[in-house]
Structure 1
Amino acid sequence: MFSSDHVGAVFFDVDGTLVPGTSSSVFLAGFLGHRDELARAEDAYAAGTVGNRQVSELDAAGWAGVREERVSGWLDGLPLVSGIAETVAWCRRNGLVPVLATLAWSPVGSYLSARFGFHAFSGPRLETADGHFTGRVARHFDEYDKRDFALATARELGLAPRSCAAVGDSRSDLPLFAAVGWSVAFNASAGAREVATVAVDDDDLRGVLPVLRRLVAPTR
């Protein structure tokens, strides 16, 4: 629960940002047997040659028959950038609401929110039946849905977009970068760097804190 004295929100991407050098989907595909195929598809998405829907449907097919309960155990081994817990705690202390704005599957957002204390998360959803994944997508979610989720969350918190920041690394962050007051390209692609307010390269998420302080400074 956040009190009315919050001054802004920070929307953090997951894949390539909190999960460095890969994506949560590719990591999980290693358990499902289609890692290489998905990695090629994600590279094609990053290059702009395929859409998010195609990648999601390809990935979802590999989940068919898997029990829902297995995923959290796999996610315990997800490679993560250092400093997530400390960055979330800093945001909370300084009146910034930390939110996951991501295209990662909803079990990933749910896991990371519970582990680190993010306020909310976005993402596509896999279809399930009788405790198993069916291999189909229940809800598609692309980079524009990501932007719209962030803006809707800001409205719910009573915040203007200019009072918000986004931290991301790639194509899926570009619409959101254009919609908020501050955008941080964190260990990012050339395309993300070109449109971001500032670029930060660091092996610890706390490297973005000097930028986030600019959201807090006007009211402190």
Structure 2
Amino acid sequence: MSRLHLFDLDGTLIHGSAAAIEISRQLGMEAQIHELERDFAAGRLDPVGFATAACALWGEALTEAVVTAAFDGAPWLDGVRDVWADIAARSERCAVISLSPHFFVERLLAWGADAAHGSRWPEVPLRGAVDPAGILDAAAKVRIADELCAGYGLERADCVAYGDSMSDALLFAAVPVSVAVNADHHVRDIASLSYTGRDLREAYALVGARVH
């Protein structure tokens, strides 16, 4: 039987940070993005509001070179590519589903992800308006997981989810195995497994001990 591993990005694959924070760090806008992150965490901004505010903040200052520097400099967990290579060797699948901008998330395809879904922001440099229909939320993670399952001939019962925060809670509730990675209480209390550390191989090993 095959399996689909579903990974969150911010706070999960990236330790203690997020794509928007890493991009803002490159632009010297850390204070401003942390304010937006606080508003989002407190529910004062929804995903569309956050994306709209971040696009306005970065504007045409955001270039492909900035995105590359942010991606390359992000504090990734160790062993991401090793884990995804092992998943492929087992003839299983792995995907990233994140609320972060697509132009950051999709770079993980080069690391071995079978699919990478992020919110559809305007293309870089950010000249267009945010289309609310393209911005993902917690429910969209479940919808995309179902679409991926359909494409791979799998079911929710074949899925393992890895995440860290409230945006992962609906997905955790929808699949049989879930791993809280450096997580807050929103998902740590409902996850099948919990991991704290800096190496994805160790979190993945917990899953292996349970399902393989």
TM-score by length of 1: 0.87
Other-structure match for 1:46:
41
- The 5 A counterparts of 1:21-170 are 21-66=16-61, 68-70=63-65, 71-114=67-110, 116-128=111-123, 132-134=125-127, 136-138=129-131, 139-170=134-165
Cα deviation digits, residues 97-154 of structure 1 (max 9, x gap): 010011111111111221x1101111112213xx632163242111111221111111
Other-structure match for 2:207:
212
Q: Secondary structure at the match of 2:140?
A: helix
Q: Secondary structure at the match of 1:121?
A: strand
Q: Secondary structure at the match of 1:146?
A: helix
Q: Secondary structure at the match of 2:130?
A: strand
Q: Distance in 2 between matches of 1:104 and 1:163?
A: 25
Instruction: Tell me whether 92-101 or 12-21 shows the greater mean CA deviation.
Output: 92-101
Residue 15 of structure 2 is aligned to residue 17 of structure 1: no
More helix by share: 2
Cα deviation digits, residues 155-193 of structure 1 (max 9, x gap): 110101011010000011111111112111011001111
Q: Secondary structure at the match of 1:132?
A: coil
Q: Secondary structure at the match of 1:178?
A: helix
Flag the 1:41–1:67 CA change in 2: closer, same or farther, 3 A: closer
Q: Distance in 1 between matches of 2:71 and 2:193?
A: 31
Contact 1:29 1:35 in 2 (8 A): yes
Letter in 2 for 1:77: G
Other-structure match for 2:185:
190
| Root mean square deviation, CA, Å | 1.9
Letter in 2 for 1:19: I
Q: Secondary structure at the match of 2:127?
A: strand
Uncovered stretches (5+) of structure 1, i.e. residues with no partner? 1-5
Contact 2:102 2:119 in 1 (8 A): yes
Other-structure match for 1:3:
none
Letter in 2 for 1:120: A
Letter in 2 for 1:85: R
